Structure formats: C-alpha cells, structure tokens
Amino acid sequence: MNIKLILSAFLVGGLILLNEQVNVNAFPTSPLRARQDPGVGGTWKVVGKSGVNAMHAVLVSPRKVVFIDKLEENALKRPDGAAAISSEYDLDTNEVKPLGIYTNTFCSAGSWLGNGTLVEVGGDVGGDNYRIGIQTLRLYDTAVGDWVELEGIVPSNRWYPAMLTLPNGNVMVLGGSTAGTGKSKPEINNPTYMIYPPPSGTLVDVPLDFLTTTLPYNLYPMVHIIPNADGKTLLFMFANQMGISYDLDAGKTVTNYPNIPGGVIRSYPLTASSVMLPLSPTDNYNPTIMICGGSKTFEITAPAEASCGRLELSTANAAWEMDNFGGQGRIMPDSTILVDGSILFVNGAATGMAGFRKGAGITAIFVNEDPVLTPFRYDPFAKTYTTLAPSTIPRMYHSISTLVPDGTVLIAGSNPQPKVDLNEKYPTEYRVEIFSPPYLFTQSSRPVIISLQSTQIDNNRINVNYGQEVTMVVQIKPDGTTPSLKASIIHHGFITHSQNFSQRYVYLEITEMAADQTTADQYIVKLKLPPNPTIIAPGPSYIYVFNNDSPPQTGVPVLLSQAAAA
C-alpha cells in the first residue's frame, strides 16, 4: 500500500498539519528503492578487537554487543587472571572488557525473555579454570552488565540447541545433543524441549518426535513463531530437509510442509541460514520463511549449495519457491535483516562443512575452505540479489553478523580451530569489522529521532505495548525531495552458527504525520504497533523511521509488552 497523505494547513496546539503531499506508509510492495550512488556497494572498516572469538553475539544495548566464545586461551583475561570467554564490546570506544562466565559455553544458545533479561543455555564439558556448562543456564543482567550462572539446573545436557522467545515472554530451548559430535546420532540425541521460566515451577523436558525424525541433521534446528490472530503459539520448525508447523499449546504437529527440493541438507554441519522475511500489516502479516545455503554431501571437498527456498507458511498446499542464492554457494552464511527490510547474506565458505581443522601446520586440513568474501543484498519484494563490496577477512566457522541501530552491521569471528591459533591460514580471528550498507550513501536525508512518547532518545529502553499508537518526534532535513516515510520494529536476535534466534522485522503503520510549528524540519509522527505477540515477540526491540530507505541516525530501543490489565 502506498498512501498519499494530504493534510490541510491549520494550527493545532503548536503543530501545523502539512499542506503538501507526503508519502507515508510507503510499504514496499515493489522493489526497495533508495536514491543511492549505484557505484557504492557499501564499505568495510576494521574498528577494534573482540577480545574473545565471536562464536555468539547479541546486541544488549544500542551501543554495546556481548560476545561469547568456547573455552580456549583468549588473550583477554578475567579479573582472576584466567582467559575470558565472554566480552562486552563498546561500539563508541571500540574497547572491550571481560565478562564473568565460569562455565564452558561451547555451542550453547540464547534468547531474550519478555522482561528484557537475556537467557543463555547449554555448553560443553569443563576444563582449566572453567566448570562444566552443558546443563547451565545463564542470565545476563543488563543493569549490572554481567552474567549470573545457574549451574546444573537444566534437566538434560544441551549442546547445539536452538532457542526462541515465545509470545508469552518465556523462552523455549529446543533439541541439541547430550555430547559433542560431528552430526547427531540416536544415542546422544536430545529430542526434547524445555520452557524457561517453567510454567509448572520445575524445569522439565518435553518430548518432540520431530527431533528424532530429522536425525542425523537436527542440531541447531531452525525455529520461528508463526504470526496468527488466534492467540496460538504456532511454531515453524525445520531441520535436515524437513519443516513443520507445530502447535506448542496443543502439543501436536499442524502441518507437514513438503521437503525443501534438491536433496540438500540445510542443518549443521552442512549449515544453512533461515530468516523470516519482513512482515507487513498490508497482508495481515503473512509469513514467509527463507532458507539459504547448505550442502548435499557430508564431505570436506563438497561444494556448498547455491540455492535458497522461500515458503509461505500460511498458504494452503504451500510449495517451496527456489532460487540460485545469487549464484554463489555458501555453507555457514549469516542472514541479517537490514533497516530497509532487505536481507544481508554474508560470511561463510564455498566448500566443506562446519567444524574445526584437522592437524596443524603444513599438514592442516580445513573442513571449511574457500571463504566467501562478497556479501549479497537480497530484496525480498523484487526477489533479486545485489553483489556488494567484499571484505578481505575470511569469516567461516564461528562467525557472526548483527545489525547495529545506526544502520551499520557488525561482523566478527571465525575460528575453524580447536584452540586459539594465530598462525594458521585461517587463524582465530579477533578483528571486528563494521559494514556500512549502500543505504548509508543515499542522497535522501537520514531522519533523526528526537523522542518517543515524550521521552528523549538515549540508551535506555522505552516501554511500549502491543496495539498502542505511539508518538515520535523526528527531524528530517530538506534534501530537495518530498519525504517518503516508512517505519518498522526490529528484534535484532541472538546470533550463532548461522542462526539468528528470534530475529524479526515488522513494518509499522504510520497513522499521522504533522509538522512541528515550533522547530524547523521537525515532524510529529504517530505509529501503530503490532496487535499481538505472535507477530513479534515481547522483549527488547528497536523502532525505526526511515526516508526513501535511508535509515535514521539510530533506532529507538524499546521494551515491547502486553498492556497491564485494567
């Protein structure tokens, strides 16, 4: 829908409504457009070091990212002198500090509670200065800026589980294995899920047949909430080549989707990436999933798969729509939704599988090879790929990519090593890069968000509710064209192993826009938030208003929740 909002000119309480045509709610039902220099494919800049390898990453505030590694001898030290395996990275200073994790987090997972607390679960056996972490649950306290570990409370071992924020604000911990492995097998499979906090007061494992059916490729299963208006907790789950919709409340499979075509494995160690494409009120938040990359063969010389599948989850007799992934095969790609609703595919390898090298020195054999240095931008409306500027740093096993609220993308990690090694062909990588997408080089004015609900924008979250109409003050400098505004809310997720747990992008309806009579080039914009938590889960997210696909200077941190009962 592309609405021309024509407003009469008259004074209303210090506001003057616009007497010109302004494009608002410019929902992109056609290809994304920005008046950018066609010769600019984005830029890369090394800005700092992560301190620990970025096996996991999560944006914990507008200007801070937390990294989590496995147990290894990182140069960054905890206060007690032991090697750190978690760090906090400051995006303003590009400095890093160690965080207090004391259990092994190798191949764990994370997601946010609806109350804004980060939960991280699982890991591996202990070692020097670190205790066993495979049944540990960790909470990141954003007020303190550090971890609290609840050791041994998880009822079963969890290595390579998935996690998801549920519509009720709890988190689901799904699958994994009970011990480390290359690919899963029945004797170490964990075909269950658990919910935290536990509804019954006690953490329990609940069996899930899907995690047996999908053996041996069921580690880090893909899982997304399916939007609906019925208040149901419907989940899309995918592993190996198979996908289902699952009613969590009823405990049953609702739909068995067709296998993704082509005989390609899409789960660890033949790792693909999944993303729920942007949702819009114009089509009642009709969900489409996209899964890209993977391989056909459990073999270190096998080429990565150059294919993606799209599936409309709510369509009767849904069928996969396939493409060639921009013509480039990738194993272990990362998929990051950008501010304009396009998808950045970055990182990964063209050959092999996820895992550590075998041997060392001149006899070393890397199980992932041929790093793919060139990112692609996918337009989900035109269904096209654009090749962007390449990096020079290989980012393969244990790499991450996450959106930053200023519209850039932080990219870090790569450690195809069983332990820290700075001298191999593909070393343990600590360099942090910032990728600036092409939309940061447009001729369109970037909005500056001044306030939301009369609260000045800073690093603190602003409380908002489902279905609420919120008021935002936005400054847009003249650029010679009429503003064309869109708005969105984004949950940035928790990133590891090519999965971005709970990542979600939803377009917002702009219900009103007016010029502020008291301040030049300033506007009052009213936005309508999504109606229910199946569309985007409760918890920390960011609201954006952007102009001709040019993002704001920064998004607004919010804590989204249900309104309290009267």
CATH number (domain holding residue 497): 2.60.40.10
Structure tokens at 39: 């010769």
DSSP states of 157-185 as a string? --BS-EEEE-TTS-EEEE--BSS--SS--
Q: What is the pLDDT of residue 129?
A: 87
Q: Are residues 399 and 415 in the same domain?
A: yes
544: domain range? 442-561
- Domain count for the chain, please give it: 2
Is residue 230 one of the residues assigned to a domain?
A: yes
Q: Does the pLDDT value for residue 261 go beyond 70?
A: yes
Residue 125 and residue 89 share a domain: yes
pLDDT of residue 327: 97
Whether the per-residue pLDDT at 38 is higher than 70: the answer is no
Whether residues 485 and 421 fall in one domain: no
* Same-domain check for residues 409 and 538: no
The verdict on residue 89 lying in a domain is yes
CA 311 to CA 321: how far, in whole Å? 6
- Mark whether 404 and 457 lie in a shared domain: no
Residues 381 and 247 grouped into a single domain? yes
Q: How far apart are CA 393 and CA 401, in angstroms?
A: 13
Q: Quick check: is 281 in a domain?
A: yes
| CB atoms inside a 10 Å sphere around CB 387 | 13
Same domain, 505 and 383: no
The whole-number average pLDDT for the span 420-446 is 95
DSSP tag of 210: H
Whether residues 408 and 539 fall in one domain: no
If asked whether residues 524 and 380 sit together in one domain, one would say: no
What tens digit of pLDDT does each residue of 182-209 get? 999 999 999 999 999 999 999 999 999 9
Residue 275 has pLDDT above 60, yes or no: yes
Identify the CA nearest to 316 among candidates 257, 274, 229: 257
Last residue within a domain, chosen from 440, 455, 484 = 440
Helix (H) or strand (E) holding 465: strand 462-465
Write the single-letter amino acid at 495: I
Look at residues 440, 470, 501 and tell me which one is the last residue of a structural domain. 440
Domain end among 440, 469, 484: 440
Q: Using 50, 70 and 90 to split pLDDT, how confident is the model at 20?
A: very low
Residue 333 sits in the same domain as residue 213: yes
Q: Which domain CATH number covers 316?
A: 2.130.10.80
Q: In whole angstroms, what is the distance from residue 200 CA to residue 510 CA? A: 41
**pLDDT digit string, tens, across residues 330-363:** 999 999 999 999 999 999 999 999 999 988 877 8
Residue 35 counted as domain residue: no
Same domain assignment for residues 204 and 334:
yes
Q: Are residues 533 and 435 in the same domain?
A: no
pLDDT on residue 26? 54
In a domain, 415, yes or no: yes
> Is residue 38 one of the residues assigned to a domain?
no
